[in-house]
Amino acid sequence: MQNVSNLISPGFSRRSFLKTASSLAAVGPLATHLLDAPAADARRPLMAYVGTFSSPLRDMLPTQVDLPPGNGRGIHLFQVNRATGAMTPSGVFELGTSPSCLALNSAGTRLYSANETDRVGDAKEGTVSAFAINRADGQLTLLNTVRSGGAGPTYVSVHPAGKFLLVANYFGGSVAVLPILADGRLGPATDVKNDAGKIGPARATNAPPGSFAFSGHDRTHAHMIEADRSGRFVLHVDLGLDRIFVWKFDGQKGVLTANDPPAVSLPPGDGPRHFSFHPNGRWFYSIQEEGSTVVLFDYDAAQGRLTARQTVSSLPPGFAGSNFCSEILVSADGRFVYAGNRLHDSIGIFSVGPTGELTFVGEEWTRGNYPRSFNFEPTGQFLYVCNQRADNLATFRVDQQTGGLKFTGHYTPVGNPSIIVFLELGKGE
């Protein structure tokens, strides 16, 4: 595929908080199994990169159901006050192609964006861009842009070995592997897999009472792709098929081969959207967009196999009506799981028991509507929520003991924010 660079123009909860000290104490030792990563240094300057929906025309994605025309300007840069969590604008890398998902390499020298467009010229494909990061001030320089292997790329992640970028194309119903060249640029795809199978029903099996939530059960929709800790297996979800696929990964050729079994199924219509591994690598949590559930799987890292063990609602007890789930994250110490709810506009907070099972402990209003994603800064003291339809990011302080979230009072205006990632500046690793 040709290079297409020139195409780029107050309190934890108002509901009761359940104390789970005994369970949390049992989970504590698992923190020793955290993924290998540079330790956060609160003395270093911290940058935030915010991806947005910035398409100037709604008809760029004619099948979209949940995106506004695009009030963002591309990738917005901020300096982060590490004591208060407040953010100060530090520039914008302007892109009109909706860089809705961002991923950093482990050295913090490159940034990659999924540009959620549905065509390049006459081709029904989106694009992915590579940027060099100035380690002194965090500013970006475009390296190149390539085709993503399908329409509407909505997710990118860097393979643990750092040699490949994994892409999920939502509107194309495909996943792709792009090689990362020596200088950080991206090469043409080494593999593209198109999802296939029976589309799930319009109504989710586990939909809340009175729910009319319907988003992706019209066709195949690859929504997230990421490797496991070892890099030997790559997992991706297809919302329309209600399945999580598992692939064996050839780290030399950048090729995906179906695992045995090749996938696990979620209840019909529930719509798996995102997932998050527990730091111990043995527990895997999937969030379902239309079913508003979180499912705990046991993960066999030797065989790349998932076995479902628990299903809980992402919403508070007694909720009725429509809701679309979004993000799911496990805290770095493995003690809490956070689940995003759009329309309900909250983050559900769950404690992790000694065997990985979840207990609902509360929820926090996101101070805006349609929280598409959220993320912790490197020390885990603050959590930032991208309120997509409110055109803001809201900052919360994290209670390390209870998992609770307390709004700091800091709103940061950004048009249609979709994702936020963080980078400690200074000399590259």
pLDDT digit string, tens, across residues 242-276: 999 999 999 999 999 999 999 999 999 999 999 99
The three-class DSSP label of residue 373 is strand
Whether 429 maps to a domain, the answer reads: no
Beta pairing partners, 226: 235
408 in Cβ contact with 84 (< 8 Å): yes
Which of 80, 113, 108 shows the shortest CA–CA distance to 96?
113
Residues 29-79 have pLDDT tens digits of: 334 334 444 567 778 999 999 999 997 644 444 444 344 568 999 999 999
Q: Is the pLDDT of residue 103 over 80?
A: yes
Residues 314-348 have pLDDT tens digits of: 999 999 999 999 999 999 999 999 999 999 999 99
Q: Give the model's pLDDT for residue 120.
A: 76
Which of 280, 338, 360 shows the shortest CA–CA distance to 30?
280
Residues 174-231 have pLDDT tens digits of: 999 999 999 999 999 999 999 999 999 999 999 999 999 998 899 999 999 999 999 9
Average pLDDT value for residue range 95-99: 92
pLDDT band with cut points at 50, 70 and 90 for residue 5? very low
Whether 196 maps to a domain, the answer reads: yes
Q: Give the model's pLDDT for residue 427.
A: 62
User: DSSP states of 133-171 as a string?
Assistant: E-TTT--EEEEEEEE-SSSSEEEEEE-TTSSEEEEEETT
Give the DSSP H or E segment for 327: strand 324-330
CB count within 10 Å of CB 385 equals 32
Q: Give the model's pLDDT for residue 32.
A: 35
Q: What are phi and psi of 7, to 5 degrees?
A: -85, -10
Looking up tokens 């530090």, which residue turns up? 90
Q: Are strands 358-365 and 371-376 parallel, antiparallel or unpaired?
A: unpaired
pLDDT band with cut points at 50, 70 and 90 for residue 118? confident
Beta pairing partners, 131: 111, 142
Q: How many domains does the chain have?
A: 1
CATH code of the domain covering residue 47: 2.130.10.10
Predicted structure pTM score: 0.90
The two tokens of residue 338 are: 């956070």
The three-class DSSP label of residue 295 is strand
Give me the domain span that covers residue 219: 5-424
Q: Give the model's pLDDT for residue 55.
A: 74
CA distances from 407 to 106, 341, 342, 415 (A): 30, 17, 18, 20
337 in Cβ contact with 350 (< 8 Å): yes
Whether 311 maps to a domain, the answer reads: yes
Average pLDDT value for residue range 285-301: 98
Phi-psi label, residue 408: left if phi above 0, alpha if psi -120 to 50, beta otherwise: alpha
pLDDT band with cut points at 50, 70 and 90 for residue 2? very low
